[in-house]
Amino acid sequence: MGSREQRIMGNCNGLQGRRKRSKMPKDQRLDSSCTDIPTHEGIKTVGIHKVCEFSTGSVLCLCVVTWNMNGKASSEDFAELVGRDRRFDLLAVGLQEVPRRNVARLLQAALDETHSLLGEATMQSLQLFIFGPKNSEPSTKEMRIDKHAVRGCGGLIGRKKGAVGIYINFNGIRLLFISCHLSAHAAHARNVEERNSQCRHISHSLFSKDRNPYARPSHLTVWLGDLNYRIHGLSTLPLLTSKDQLLQEAEKGQVFDGYCEGTLSFKPTYKYNAGSSNYDTSYKIRVPSWTDRILFKVDGYSGIDAVLHSYESMDQIESSDHKPVKAHLCLKFNHV
């Protein structure tokens, strides 16, 4: 991948200063598409366009899922994770703290006969899978995988931290998926810079060995995973979004400059009592946080817009102390 692709993939450092606050009302600042605009800094909140024009007005429709499994898995969970609505071309599933089971096989069984595995990137308990429609292998023109570890194992052997990535050219659309899990010991507010640093190292290291200065950039880059950003200095639920560390650090220009994310209209995804939808009642009583996120960025010169059709947590899955997060994203050619 070329130097431009490096900027598209990463730009995680984004050291361009603090984003100026818009005087426009918040509901007017929401947009249903996201293209990398040079003057934008921080993470842009995009609205939901609920009607999906799958197979008619879209170039490519994607379903993206991230889930920290907390070392537990069942076929019922994967069936719920995948769902029955298969109005998507590609399914990207990023998993963290995966148990020692063949989860690719469980996912394939849940997808039944609609989709098959195109590629996977694994680093112990950190795993990423891309599924495409049955018999769509000829549509995959190019695929590369890479991984990068960071220090820290969350106190449990085999629970790897870092990122795995898959670059795929599917039907001429160049896509880059990065699934990450940042160190748990960096969860506290005073250690937020360590989390920022890990993000920057991942951004600069993935696919650096085979970087081609003449390669064309990805049309779309998607970061997903347990980013472990928490809530800073707050213990009451109604005001949590204003204290979200990830949005604060992005606004400062520290990470994910120019990326987009749907509105955090769902409840914080961590930490739950495993086996329930009740927040942590242990002696630590952790403040609920949106640790699990899906961010995306479109190359501004690609001629493509990304439209977000849903962004939600899956509260019905209760086996882990995290809730899965799912996004439905469609790419369209713009005609500007």
pLDDT digits (tens, 9 = 90+) for 225-236: 999 998 876 555
Lowest mean pLDDT among 48-52, 258-262, 268-272: 48-52
Q: Which contacts (CB < 8 Å, 24+ apart) does range 79-84 have?
A: 79/110, 80/314, 80/316, 80/317, 81/107, 81/110, 81/314, 81/317, 81/324, 81/326, 82/107, 82/110, 82/111
Q: Mind spelling out the 3-state secondary structure of 194-244?
A: HHHHHHHHHHHHCCCCCCCCCCCCCCEEEEEEECCCCECCCCCHHHHHHHE
Query: 127-149: per-residue pLDDT in tens?
Result: 999 999 999 999 999 999 999 99
- CA-CA distance, 153 to 183, in Å (whole number)? 7
pTM: 0.86
